[in-house]
Amino acid sequence: MLRLGLNIGMQTLLSSVRCGTKGVVTALDDFLPATKRLRRLGIHEGMPVEVLHGDDPMMILCHRSKIAVSRDSLDAVTISVKKHSCEECYFPAAFFNLFRFKTKLDSGSADKI
């Protein structure tokens, strides 16, 4: 397995991340049979990837191409996920909708809702 010095965050398998996760491919396990096919599809070390759909098969965005690959095949890919502190990750959209609802009630416009 070839490892590059692309350590920008937490290392994890591409098959184990959720929808919306962005990262950089840091390693491909050359001992798994799917690796050769993944390289032909354009997944290489140093390539930025984003998970668009998290079910099986997973839809990933790699170098401006959308690729649907089974989770079993993506066990060969290790990515580095950048850590961040985005409010949307920690507070779901329902929380913000509830907050907006309360502010409308507090402003006296409850009858308009």
| Residue 64: CATH number of its domain | 2.30.30.90
Residues 49 and 64 in one domain: yes
The reply to whether 67 and 90 lie within a common domain is no
CA-based torsion, 63, 46, 70, 2: positive or negative: positive
| Domain membership of residue 105 as a residue range | 86-113
Q: Are residues 44 and 62 in the same domain?
A: yes
Each of the 113 residues of the chain gets a pLDDT tens digit; together they read: 444 444 457 899 999 998 889 999 999 999 988 999 999 998 999 999 999 988 889 999 988 889 999 999 999 999 999 754 444 444 445 444 555 544 445 555 555 44
Shared-domain flag, residues 9 and 44: yes
pTM of the shown model: 0.64
Same domain? 98 vs 71: no
**Structure tokens given for 109:** 């416009």
67 with 59: CB under 8 angstroms?
yes
